[in-house]
A and B are shown apart, each in its own frame.
Chain A
């Protein structure tokens, strides 16, 4: 492959699709929805040529369940959607978490609630990504802010899903996914591609939900003689339904703790001018690009502004956030909703004021739009 072939001029949907292909996606099920459809269409042309299977299901509920089934059949499986479709997937996000099926879900956020504005941007799915399904479980959400990151983080999303056996959400937004940019399509060995752990014992000794030291159980594949039972009810190491306090407690804690104990492969963020920042902005996704412009202009005028941009939203690198905020007098969270990431930042930072700058515009906010909201704190 020539050097030129490694460079694409792609929007973030297409970049994420390329990332998925590099990560080895071989099963995709989806349902059309704005603004995620062109990701599906892109893969629909490419995956069959690479031996993958891609289908359009009758709804998003079928899509999410099909990828969970495919995952247990050994596939690297994904879907992509937007808020309304993501909402429909709610129950089976918890199913994936409960049966520890590695899957990747791309959520191209648009305006909500409900049908909202299908063709307008938003960042209102932050809490949805974390707490979409009922019960307590762990989940990972990553938020790119460029097409390059959409590519890189989709690979990372698959790697985390495979290594930790968790659902991983890639949170993008309308503006981001329809903005074309230069993307370098890095391939192995420049990027690492991970696969799940397989059983190391014969079928008669295999306990499908017995974790290793990293709290992640090795995963058998359907059709290989393991006769593995995938149970959505509370289950013991065998996968059998039991109603015992100790089993329930160990399972539910482990579904969250396996992310915490392996956070070194998950946590990710970028800091801009935080060393001496007195005003620290926190923003993610395409909104962070406008905030970065504000910060750079401020710096040019000698103002000590900084930006903390979380990439892993769930979990967020809170230690890094605290450190970045050390010298700050004020923290301003800029997001295109009425306060979601803010709740997490405000929870973490206890000794100084945290302000919410909600941006409720239908298009990407300009730096001026954001400054207008923030001026009272600057």
Chain B
């Protein structure tokens, strides 16, 4: 039984705002955030975690090991530093 929901973790201080994840997400649930990380980049945020289908394209395209997706009990965005 595939998971129904997903937890998307953003490793904020690794993100370089390249926006590849934002552009590649087939459900368009990622967006540039307003908050700056330690290096001055506005890290990606999840706008609608409930729409994530767990394809992990964002995770695999990220050059910076800054986003990953896991099955979860409930839709969730986690900001790690």
A and B touch in the complex (CB under 8 A): no
Which B positions have Cβ atoms within 8 angstroms of A?
none
Query: A interface vs B, CB < 8 Å?
Result: none
